[in-house]
Copies of this chain bind each other. A is one copy, B any other.
């Protein structure tokens, strides 16, 4: 009889995540209760926020408990439904975690059309990362036509959408990415106006060249020295959407020296979490879906095969080893 494969949190990392922080277990396939839906997960999304949930430091969300299934966004197929809005065969997106099967109340699932757009994309550009890009760009950065936007981790699931969306809204998009391959992809495939390889060792000079008119909007995913350098290049009355600080998730001290720029340039800096205002999701998903179908927003996926590959894939993601949206194919 088939079992549910699941990965639980075995221990909390103190600095970098290690595979020993996870444990693969199996259990019976759960039975859906009233209003619940049984889903066979096909795709698991891996995202930087997961590092925060592995820690018990105070944050915006509760940590995963030791021994509990790791949290995560999933896309899959309804096998059995006790909820009136779902029937077997529906494709749904939810947050069923690192496991091959899951049950959830129907109200926490979103039915998606996997014919017009591939199912996996609902975990990327038309899912949480896409909405994150949309909210941070349009609600916080609010670029005006002709302004310059810079986004860090530009080839990633969020950054790639930020730059393309900024261009659609009339701004000039400059990416920061690690290595020539990612930069070439950001320029040639995604069509950014410029991309800076921060590993090339000439960030200050390259940035000056790529942003001759300074920076009006910064969509920050990384933090640390790069963030500091970018702050020093901001224009008067510019905006920073602070979305992530992935370079600082493992205990590194990354002090910010350029806070003076926030004062002198009257910068508005806003930290945000995509789930803060759920009313923004429907308009975001509608716009993003249209751009994906029309080919105006392109995306790339890194796929790890099988649930057992998830820990190594997350570790790689946290080190910038992924290329595009990191997924795990659950079969």
Contacts and interface: CB of A to CB of B under 8 A. Distances in A.
A276 B236 CA distance: 11
A269 B266 contact: no
A267 B271 CA distance: 5
A279 interface: no
A323 interface: no
Contact of A223 (B245, B259, B268, B269): B259
Copies in the complex: 2
A11 to B, nearest CB: 22
B263 A244 contact: yes
Contacts of A257: 253, 255-256
Contacts of A268: 268-271
Given A253-B257, A256-B255, A257-B255, A271 B276 contact: no
Interface residues of A, number: 31
Interface in A62-90: none
Interface in A169-211: none
Given A60-B236, A236-B60, A263 B255 contact: no
Of listed A263, A266, A273, residue having the most chain B CB within 10 A: A263
B223 A264 contact: no
Nearest to A234: B271
A296 interface: no
Q: Tell me the interface secondary structure of chain A in the complex.
A: loop
A223 B273 CA distance: 26
A242 B263 contact: yes
Given A60-B236, A255-B257, A257-B253, A245 B270 contact: no
A70 B116 CA distance: 67
A254 B259 CA distance: 9
Nearest to A255: B255
Contact of A245 (B259, B269, B276): B259
A281 interface: no
B266 A262 contact: no
A60 B259 contact: no
Of listed A60, A245, A259, A260, residue having the most chain B CB within 10 A: A259
A263 B246 CA distance: 11
B60 A266 contact: yes
A108 interface: no
Contacts of A271: 262-268
A263 B245 contact: yes
Contacts of A227: 259
Interface string A269-308: 1111100100000000000000000000000000000000
A54 to B, nearest CB: 15
A59 interface: yes
Interface string A2-32: 0000000000000000000000000000000
A35 interface: no
Interface of A: 58-60, 223, 227, 236, 242-245, 248, 253-257, 259-260, 262-273, 276
Given A245-B259, A267-B270, A269-B270, 8 more contacts: A243-B263, A254-B259, A256-B259, A265-B271, A266-B273, A266-B276, A268-B270, A268-B271
